[in-house]
Structure 1
Amino acid sequence: MSRSIFKRLVTVDEALNALKGHVKPLPLGIEEVKITETYGRILGEDIVAKIDLPPFSRAIVDGYAVRAIATSFASEVNPVKFKVVGRVYAGEGSSLEIKEKECIEIDTGAILPRGADAVVRVEDTSIDGDYAIIHSSLGKGSGVATMGSDVYNGQLVMEKGEGLTAEKIGALAGLGYGRIKVFLRPRVAIFSTGNELLEPGLELSPSKIYDVNQYSIGALVQSSGCIPIYLGVKIDNFEEIRGAIVEGLNCADAIVMSGGTSAGVSDLAYKVFEGLGSPGLIVHGIAAKPGKPTILAAIGDKPIFGLPGFPVSALTMYYLIVDPFLRSISGKKLETRKTLKSGLATRHISERGRREYLPVFLKRSEKGLVAVPILGGSGAIASLCSADGIVEIPENIELIEKDERVKVRLFPQVKVADLVMVGDPSPVSQLVLSELRRSGVRVRSEFRGLEHGLALIRSETADLLVACTPEDERALNLYDFPSKIAKIGSFKMDMVWAFYGEGALSSGSTLVLPKIGSGLRAHAEDRIRKMAKDFKVIEVWSYDAAVDQILNRRDIVALLPLRMAKKYGLGFVEAFPTSVNYLAYERLLSTRVGKRLLRIMKSEDFRSALAPI
C-alpha cells in the first residue's frame, strides 16, 4: 500500500467553517423533564421568575418582630420594654398586627406581621412577664428578608444554554418549577485506532500501550453537553475502522475517532469514508502544531472528527474544533476562556507556517507570573495534565525570546506553582514535598535526574535542585552550577544492592539503575565493575519502578535506598553512602516559600523522620 499525502492544510477556523458548510451546528431539539433529572443538562429556555423570592417578607432570625423606630434609643444601659402580643410560627399565616411598643415572637422563616419592619434576635432580649426587654437598637429591615429581595417577579434568572448545577436546580425549585425544558443531548460515538493499543485493565504486553484518548475524549464529550458511547479500540484494518464508523452512524449523532489520521501506510481513516455517503471527507490536515493530521468528514448530517493518535494533539484539537461544534448541537453556551499576559520563561523556537499551541504551566517569580513551556511532545500524556493553559503562536512567528510577553489561554483549573523542584529522586525529597504541600505551598516536581534538573535550573525554569551524589564533598564540584546557586541542605542516604530472596550481585546479573544523567549513575557503574562483569542494565526513572522490577522478575538486582529495601522486605548488601543535596537560587531564600523550606529542613520533626533513611 502506498503512502498518501495531506491535502491542502487549512487553519482551525477554515476547518470549522468547511464542516459547517455541510453540517449546520444546530441543537437537536428540546424535551421537558422532571427537575430531579436535570443535573448536568442544558437549559432549553430562558427562566423568567413568575413569583417573588421570598414570596413574602419573612424573619431570618429567631426573635421578636418590632417597629425599628421604636428601638432607636435601646441599649444595654437603657433597654426598652415591648409588650408581647402574640407569636408567629414558620409555615403559618398570621393576621396579627403590632403597634408601637408592641412586639410579636417570631420563628426564622415565619411571615412578618403587619406593622413590623425589623426582627430583634432573641439573644439580644430578655423576658419580664409579658414583656420583652430589648437591649439594642435596630435599623429598618434588620433580621428580615423582604419580599422579592432574592428574586423579583419578572426577573431573568437563567439563560438558555446554561448548564444546570445543584445551585441552579435549587433556584428553579424555589421558583416553583417541577419540570424543566432542556436540550436533547447528542450521542457521540468514540473509538481509538492502533495495533499498539490495549484497553485499560488488561495486562500490558511488550510493544503495547494503554488507550488514553477514548477515555479523555469521552470525559470532554460530557463537558460539551453530550453523551459518550464507547466503541472500543480498533486495529489498523480498513474493514474494522469502516465498521466502527458505520456502527457510530447508526447509534450516534456524531463520531470522534483518534489515530489513523496521518499519511502513513497504516493510517487508514481518511480512506474509509468513500462510498458511505456524501459529503465524505471534508478536511485532511490542519496547519497547526500539534494537530496537523486531523480530518473532518460528514455522512449526511452527522459530523465525524478524526483526531491524531498522540494525546496532546488529540486533546488540543478537541478544544479548538470539536468542543465548539458539539456545544452548538448540544445547546450549551460557548465559554470564552480566560486569558492573561505573562512573560515566557524560556526562549522558544516555533515552526513557521503552522500555528502552534504550546502547553504551559504558570509559576510565581520575582518578575511576577511566568509561563513555563511543557515540551513533552505530542505523545506526552502528562503535558496537558500539568498545563495551566496554552500559548497560541501565529504562523508567521518563528521565535519568542525569554521574558517576552505572551497571551495564555487558561484552562478551567489553574494551579499557579510557588516552587518548581527538579533533579534526582529520593525518599528525602518525598518528605520535603509532603511538608511543603501540607504548609500550603504549591509545588511542581519533576525528578528526571541531576543533569535534566540542572538544565532547568540554568534556564531559571526551576527553583530547587535535588542532587544525589556519593558522600564526598568534592562530588558536587564536578557540576557547573550557576553562580547564584547556594546549597541549603544536605542529608545522608545509604544505598544498597537489593534483590528478592537469596539473589545476589554477580557476573552476568541484570541490574536496575537510575537513568544516565542521574547523580549516582556513573558512581554506581564504577562500583559494579569492581564486583561483577558482563552485567546488563535496565534503566528506570524512579526507585518505585526499580522495586517493581525486582518483584515482577525476581532475578535482578537494583540500586535502592536502604529504607525502600527494608520497606518491601528485600534482601540487600551495602552499596555506598550518598548525600542528598538541595541547591536553590539565593533570591528564593528571602521569599515566603524559601523561608518555609528552610524552616522545614531545620525542624526536629523533619530530621526525626529522616532517621530511618
Structure 2
Amino acid sequence: MNQIRQRMNRFMNLIGYLEAVSRINKYGWKPIEDLKTKVSGALGMISAEDVLAKLPLPTRERSLVDGYAIRSFDSIGASTENPVHFKIIGRKEAGSGAAFNISKGDCVEIYTGASLPDCCDSVIMAENAVLSHGGITISEEISKGSNISKVGEDIGKDFQIVRRGDRISSFQITAMLSSGTKNITVKRRINVGVFSTGNELFSYSKDNIQNTAETAIKTFFESRFMKISRLGKCHDSIEEISDKVKRSIEGLDALIITGGTSLGRYDLVPEALSELAETVFGGVRTRPGRTTALYSISGKPVLSVSGFPSSAIISLWLFLPHYIKAVTGMDYQGRRRKIQLATALHSKTGYTTIVPVRTSYDRIGMKVSPVSIGGSVRMIDMLNADGLVIVPDNVEGYSENDAVEVYEVNQP
C-alpha cells in the first residue's frame, strides 16, 4: 500500500506541457557532433552550417529555347511588310565552348541550355523564324533579353540556400551542387535505443501481449538523421530494468523505455531509474501521456512512455522534437497550417489535449474533424487520422468553423 501511495504522489504534482518543454529546452544535453560529408549524400541530414551560393546560377546567360541567337538591335524595323534576314554562321549546343565573331545580320543556331555567344542578347524561337537562303527571316522585332536566362536569375551569388538546422532537401542539394558547393557540415546521425518492459510481453505469460511499441516507434521516427535501435524487452524487475539501462545508454545519444510508468504494482521504471538518473520531469498534464517522464544520464535523455503504441507515439511526438531542436537546431515537430473545423472539438481544461483529426473537403474548402474524443487515443484513431491538434490546457475546446493549427503526422 505504501508503494502505491508513493507512486500516486508522482501524479499529484504533474507539471504543464509548456513547463515540460521549457525544461527540455533549458537542459544542458550532451551535444551531437558535426561531420563533413559530400553534398550529394546529405539528403535528409541536418545541416550544421549556413550555406551561401558560391556562384550565380546560371553563371552565364543561356538560351531558354531552341532557336537563333542574335543582337536584338539588328531586328529593329522587322515586320510582315519588311522582313529582316539573318545569316547563320554556326551552331551552339549546351556545353559547347564555341566562340563566334558576330557582325550585323549574323545569327547562331542555338539549343536550350546553351550559353549565349558574346555580343548576342536575345534568342528568336525556332518556330518564329523562316529558313531561307542559308539563313533565317523574321517578321517582327525581337526585344533585348527575349528567351534567355540571365546571370544569377535562378540563384544569385551569396543567396542563402541552406540554414543551420535545416533538414536538407533534394532541391537544396541540387542548388548547392549547381552553385559550387561540394561538401557540407552536418550533424551526425542521432542514435536512439528503445526497449519495452512488462512480464506480459513474454511468451510464457498467460495474458501475452505482442511487443509492438518498439516497432511503432522505430517506423514512425527513424530517418536519415536519427537511427532507432530496437533493444528488446525485459521483465518487470527493478534490477533487470536498471541493468538494461546501464548496458544500453553507453553507446546511445538517447534512450526510450515503453511501459512500467503508471500506478500498478509492476510499474517499476521510476524506481529503477531513481538511483541512475536525474529526473527532469516525472509526469505531465497531457492527454494522452500524463505518465510520460524524462530523465538524464550523463546529459543523455531517457524518455519513459506508455506501453500502448498510439500513446507512446504521441508522447514522443510531443517531447522528442524539442530535444532534437536543442542539440541540432532543427524544428522537427512538423509542418502545420490553420484549417477550419468541420465539427466542434471538445476538451478538458487543466490538461493539454492532443486530438487526432482527419481532413476533408466541402464546397468551401479543406476542413478537419476530430477522430477521437475524451483524451485517450486508440490505434484506430491514428489509422484514421492525418493530423494532430494540440489544445492548450486553458481551452475547453473549439467551435465548428474555428480555425485550428493542424500538424501533419505523415512523418518523417
TM-score by length of 1: 0.60
Deviation at 1:355, TM superposition (A): 2.2
Aligned equivalents of 2:258 and 2:43: distance in 1?
A: 29
Equivalence for 1:116 = 120
CA deviations over 1:325-362 (Å, ceiling 9, x no partner): 123223423567423253462573x4443222222223
Aligned with 2:8: secondary structure? coil
Aligned residue in 2 for 1:296: 294
Following superposition, the deviation at residue 223 of structure 1 comes to 4.9
- Residues 75-474 of structure 1 mapped to structure 2, 5 A cutoff: 79-134=83-138, 137-197=141-201, 207-223=207-223, 225-276=225-276, 278-279=277-278, 281-334=279-332, 337-343=335-341, 345-346=343-344, 348=346, 350-365=347-362, 370-375=367-372, 378=376, 380-398=378-396, 400=397, 403=400, 405=402, 407-411=404-408, 413=410
User: Which residue in 2 is equivalent to 1:17?
Assistant: 22
Q: Deviations over 1:221-269 (max 9, x none)?
A: 3359322122123333333322331232111011122211112111111
Partners of 1:214 and 1:125 in 2: CA distance: 66
Q: Which runs of 5+ in 1 are unaligned?
A: 415-613
Cα distance, 1:77 vs structure 2: 7.1
Change beyond 3 A, Cα 1:374–1:117: same
What secondary structure, in the 3-state scheme, does the structure 2 residue paired with 1:315 have?
A: helix
* Percentage of pairs with the same residue: 29
- Which residue number corresponds to residue 442 of structure 1? none
SS of aligned partner of 1:340: strand
Aligned to 2:50: 46
Higher relative contact order by CA 8 Å / sep ≥ 6: 1 or 2?
A: 2
Report the number of matched residues: 405
How big is the shift at 1:206? 7.7
Query: 1:5 maps to which residue?
Result: 8
TM-score by length of 2: 0.87
1:402 Cα deviation after fit = 5.7
Structure number with bigger Rg: 1
Q: 1:68 to 1:311 in 2, by over 3 A?
A: same
Gaps of 5+ in 2: none
Q: CA deviation at 1:91?
A: 2.1
State the 1:286 CA deviation.
0.7
Residue pair 1:311, 1:378 contacting (<8 A) in 2 also? no
- Residue identity in the other structure for 2:301: P
**Residue 16 of structure 1: how far off its partner (Å):** 3.0
SS at match of 1:167: helix
For residue 289 of structure 2, give the secondary structure of its aligned residue in structure 1. Answer: coil
Superposed counterparts of 1:566-585, under 5 Å: none
Contact 2:201 / 2:211 at 8 angstroms: preserved in 1? yes
The code of the aligned residue for 1:5 comes to M
Cα distance, 1:270–1:182 mapped onto 2, change above 3 Å? same
How far is the alpha carbon of 1:47 from its aligned partner? 0.9
2-side partners of 1:272 and 1:262: how far apart?
13
> 2:106 is aligned with what amino acid?
E
Which of 65, 68, 72 matches 1:61?
65
CA RMSD, 1 decimal? 3.1
Counterparts in 2 of 1:127 and 1:52: CA distance versus 1, 3 Å? same
CA contact (8 A) 2:287 2:351 kept: yes
Report 1:561-600 matches (<5 A): none
Structure 1 residues 50 and 365, CA, compared in 2 at 3 Å: closer, same or farther? closer
**Contact 1:185 1:330 (8 Å CA) reproduced:** no
